[in-house]
Amino acid sequence: MPSVLHFGDEDFLRCRFAISPIWETQEAVRTLKRTDRHGYHAPWLRRIREAAAGLDLGRLWLLMPRRGHSPDWLGPPPLGPAATFEEEIAAVRASDPEAAREDTALSLACTPGALQSPHGRAWLADPARMIAELADAMEEAWQVLIEPDWLRLRALLEADVAFHSRRLAEVGLGTLLPELDPRLSWDGRTLTLALHLEYARDLAGQGLVLMPSVFSWPDVITGFEPPWQPTLVYPARGLAGLWTDPGERTTESLVRLLGRNRAEILSALAEPATTSALAHRLGLAPSSVSSHLTILRDAGLLMSRRYGHQVLYERTPLGVALAAGV
């Protein structure tokens, strides 16, 4: 049974892209428990295994049923196109206790025995304490699982937004939406997601937030209930190279031509990235990366464009050919 989102005239004007660090945190926690999500993330899983073992994730996992409802208040749609984790977790901590209680009860009902578990009973009896407890657990998960790699993750997500924003300008919303994932189809007013979950929502003038995600792969996710902003979460482009060391893709012939650092920077730009993201990923000083980027751009191998307050660099066709050894 499919999920369907119905568009009105105003909704076409209110569609936008967004990125959410708290969403990636929630989905990283879920990924630790779901082996079907491990394919692209094996290097990350090996690296964080010991640190993750020190986390108490049982409380969060109790609210992540394999099929069914997860609380919207704990993983809400993003506040804006580039909200920080600090802004998002503050909004979680400010959740209305009674609304959070009702939302949590719906989620607990999806797992046999969860409503009568010690955590379930305590949360429903004292939802204000539940909010503080689960927000603390989410913040600790962010610090251990996501924050050390956030620059790399954000670069990939921003690259996805930049790519699909260009596609939106080229082909329009009706063509873009089905391109986000093969399970999506569009008939001019209704976006249909082929799933085993029946869900329908009229966007009612709120528009739709389109949100790429690293850790939600391979799932496409919707189902946020009012009053939450209608949101569609889809797998980000470029996951296959996310955890690859750029040096592994840098050929010696490219190194001889450009020098080690410039060759690794060009190789690392399989997806657009910022100076700070490249510096973090390559272990170089931002000032050094900035200088190399300028030289590569002046040589016609890169182009730059502004995304919000940041500048993204990407390869030109000549840079793509040179990096590929064509």
Task: Among 200, 218, 235, identify where a domain stops.
Answer: 235
Kindly compute the dihedral angle of the four CA atoms of residues 284, 162, 206, 75, in this order, to the nearest 10 degrees.
Answer: -30
Task: Among 202, 235, 268, identify where a domain stops.
Answer: 235
Percent of the chain with pLDDT over 90: 55
Q: What phi and psi, each to the nearest 5 degrees, are found at residue 90?
A: -65, -40
Task: Among 177, 208, 235, identify where a domain stops.
Answer: 235
97 and 162 housed in the same domain: yes
- Contact indicator for 297, 282 with CB cutoff of 8 Å: no
Q: If you average pLDDT over residues 147-171, what whole number do you get?
A: 88
127 or 239, greater pLDDT: 127
Predicted local confidence at residue 122, as pLDDT: 96
203 and 251 housed in the same domain: no
- Contact indicator for 27, 236 with CB cutoff of 8 Å: no
Which CATH number fits the domain that encloses residue 254? 1.10.10.10
226 and 260 housed in the same domain: no
Containing structural domain, residue 17: 3-235
**Beta pairing, strands 16-17 & 199-202:** unpaired
Comparing 57-71, 219-233, 243-257, the range with the smallest average pLDDT is: 243-257
Q: Flag whether the pTM goes above 0.95.
A: no
Q: Can you read off the two tokens belonging to residue 287?
A: 């000032």
- Contact indicator for 126, 119 with CB cutoff of 8 Å: no
54 and 179 housed in the same domain: yes
36 and 102 housed in the same domain: yes
Q: If you average pLDDT over residues 12-27, what whole number do you get?
A: 94
Q: At residue 326, does pLDDT exceed 90?
A: no
Predicted local confidence at residue 243, as pLDDT: 83
248 and 231 housed in the same domain: no
214 and 286 housed in the same domain: no
129 or 309, greater pLDDT: 129
Chain centroid to CA 174: 22
